[in-house]
Amino acid sequence: MANEQAAQQVFKNGLRAIAPMLPGVVPFGMTTGIAATEAGLAPLMSMGMSLIIFAGAAQLVIAQLIGDGALPLIIVLTGLIINLRMVMYSASLAPYLGHLSTRWKAAIAYLLTDQAYAVSITHFMHAGVGQHRQWFYMGTAFPLWVLWLLATAAGIWLGAAVPPGWQIGFALPLVFLVLLVPVIRDRPSAAAALTGGGVALAAHDAPYHLGLTIGAIAGVATGVSAELALHRRRSSP
């Protein structure tokens, strides 16, 4: 009984920590629902995407690519490249949550998002970890999931009722700008971001809608080279 109460308390701490992130999810999710409808997806497909893929940026880009008539193989590739960052999130949570049962890890994995990761890893690193740490993660991740489904449903339902002049699609780069700040920690990661953004912009008209993918690969390559160059300079006399 005391155990259950402690877990509940930790869950609530997670809820409190994620609260400031929640308002950004609403326009982002609505935009995703609207974009999916505009791309010609049936309401059930748009909801299926939120439930099965559950990754905002990927869903938004996938909807745009389907609307533009891109090749299915390219759409799958682009979606997975956008979500590749989840490997890093998952790996960096492993020291804190890797000891749990497979069932727990599957639930944690399904609910993994930029926001839940950012808030949880900061908490685990600075506030330390207790016995019920997985409940802290759940407290951050679960409300995002609920809100995401509600917001995409609202976007699908409202559809064209939101005037295009409001440009609520601008919420996507705004939300991701905030997520970009903490991942630029040093000069190599700044170089990765500058190259990724610059090349994706230059390759905007690349064939098969590969601009984002080319930008991402160029950015990672630049970050790795910059880190290696920095090491070499430090280790040389």
Instruction: List binders of other proteins among 184-213 (CB under 8 A).
Output: 184, 188-190, 192-201, 204, 211-212
CA dihedral sign of residues 69, 74, 76, 79? negative
Establish if 173 lies at the interface with other proteins (CB under 8 A): yes
Per-residue DSSP letters for 91-112?
Answer: HHHHHHHTTS-HHHHHHHHHT-
Select the span of 9-17, 124-132, 146-154, 223-231 touching other proteins (CB under 8 A). 223-231
Q: Given the complex with other proteins, which of 140 and 222 has the nearer CB atom?
A: 222
Q: Are 64 and 34 in contact (CB under 8 A)?
A: no
Q: How far apart are CA 93 and CA 38, in angstroms?
A: 36
**Nearest in space to 159 (alpha carbons), one of 24, 69, 43:** 43
Q: Given the complex with other proteins, which of 139 and 196 has the nearer CB atom?
A: 196
Q: Given the complex with other proteins, which of 8 and 98 has the nearer CB atom?
A: 98
Q: Least distance (Å) from other proteins to the CB of residue 5?
A: 27
Q: Given the complex with other proteins, which of 6 and 77 has the nearer CB atom?
A: 77
Q: How far apart are CA 51 and CA 122, in angstroms?
A: 27
Member of 80, 125, 158, 229 binding other proteins (CB under 8 A): 80
Q: How far apart are CA 197 and CA 186, in angstroms?
A: 17
Q: How far apart are CA 218 and CA 220, in angstroms?
A: 6
Q: How crowded is residue 115: how many other Cβ atoms within 10 Å of its Cβ?
A: 22
In the stretch 17-56, what mask flags binding to other proteins with x, by CB under 8 A?
---xx-xx--x-------------xx--x--xx--xxxx-
Q: Least distance (Å) from other proteins to the CB of residue 99?
A: 6
Establish if 127 lies at the interface with other proteins (CB under 8 A): no
Member of 157, 174, 187, 229 binding other proteins (CB under 8 A): 174
Q: How far apart are CA 232 and CA 237, in angstroms?
A: 10
Establish if 128 lies at the interface with other proteins (CB under 8 A): no
Q: Least distance (Å) from other proteins to the CB of residue 96?
A: 10
Member of 130, 153, 162, 176 binding other proteins (CB under 8 A): 176
Q: How far apart are CA 93 and CA 144, in angstroms?
A: 18
Member of 121, 149, 210, 220 binding other proteins (CB under 8 A): 220
Q: Are 121 and 92 in contact (CB under 8 A)?
A: yes
Q: How far apart are CA 144 and CA 28, in angstroms?
A: 12
Q: Least distance (Å) from other proteins to the CB of residue 6?
A: 23
Backbone angles phi and psi of 58, in degrees to 5: -60, -45
Q: Least distance (Å) from other proteins to the CB of residue 75?
A: 6
User: Site residues for other proteins, window 81-100 (CB under 8 A)?
Assistant: 81-95, 97-99
